[in-house]
Structure 1
Amino acid sequence: MHEFSIVQSLLGLVEKVCKEHRAKSVSKIVVSVGVLSGVDPHLLKIAFDTFKENTIAHSAELILQIEKLTLRCSECGSVSEKEELNVLCPKCGSFNTTIESGQDLLLKSVEMEYEDED
């Protein structure tokens, strides 16, 4: 299950960002998961909940935004968002398409908390 190594990398990145900004903790992490990224969102959530203990993100909520497959067709020029996980153009049936989105796994935002400076 490669979601464990993905979460370990994610938490390492979050800790680096928090250190750079001198944050004391993290309350929310938003990640975009493409349907073709090879990452199972459910397993990613389980791995996050398992590994966040004893980190700066121990009380953080993980928000997963699922990114659908978007194709650009070289034959008819259409850009289509698809539910099906294939590269067939839904307008003209061509296989001559390019994937525009749906393959990525992106850290979109980290909501950090800071110590009060009294």
Structure 2
Amino acid sequence: MHELSLCQALLDQVEQIARDHGATRVDRILLRVGPLAGVEPMLLQHAYPLAAAGTLAEAAELVIEPSGVRVRCSDCDAETDATPNRLLCGACGSFKTRLISGDELLLANLELTIPDD
């Protein structure tokens, strides 16, 4: 399962950040996932408990926030929303666009428990 290996890599990153900040626990993980990321959010959600077992993030809530597809037009320089299967400029209709967002798998936010010294 592709999503399980993604969860394991995510948790490696999360644990490193938590250790760097002296956290004893990870309470919440916010991910932003674009529709072109090649990741199935529901499968990621199901794989998470398996990957998180025995880590600082074992009891953390995993929140997956979808992100939209945005393109920049080479013809009119507009930045507009697009659909995953139709990356056309929303302003002029040109097909000469560059993807700005929609393919990301981004660790957007962590909530950590850090003990008082």
Could you tell me the TM-score, scaled by structure 2's length? 0.90
Structure 2 SS opposite 1:14: helix
1:33-89 superposed Cα distances (whole Å, 9 cap, x missing partner)? 111111111111111122212111111001111111101111222211123432222
Contact persistence 1:69–1:85 (CA under 8 A):
no
Measured in 1, the distance between the counterparts of 2:45 and 2:108 equals: 16
- 4+ aligned runs moved over 6 Å, structure 1: none
- How far off its partner does 1:90 sit? 3.1
Q: Which runs of 5+ in 1 are unaligned?
A: none
Q: Which residue of 1 aligns with 2:42?
A: 42
The alignment's TM-score, normalised by the length of structure 1, stands at 0.90
Q: Which amino acid aligns with 1:90?
A: G
Q: Distance in 1 between matches of 2:116 and 2:74?
A: 55
Please state how far the C-alpha of 1:116 moved relative to its aligned partner: 4.3
Contact 2:33 2:102 in 1 (8 A): yes
CA distance in 1, matches of 2:84, 2:116: 49
Change beyond 3 A, Cα 1:59–1:116: same
Number of matched pairs:
117
Q: Indicate yes or no: 2:46 matched with 1:51.
A: no
What do you get for the CA RMSD once the two structures are aligned?
Answer: 1.4
Q: Give the equivalent residue in structure 2 for 1:28.
A: 28
Q: Which runs of 5+ in 2 are unaligned?
A: none
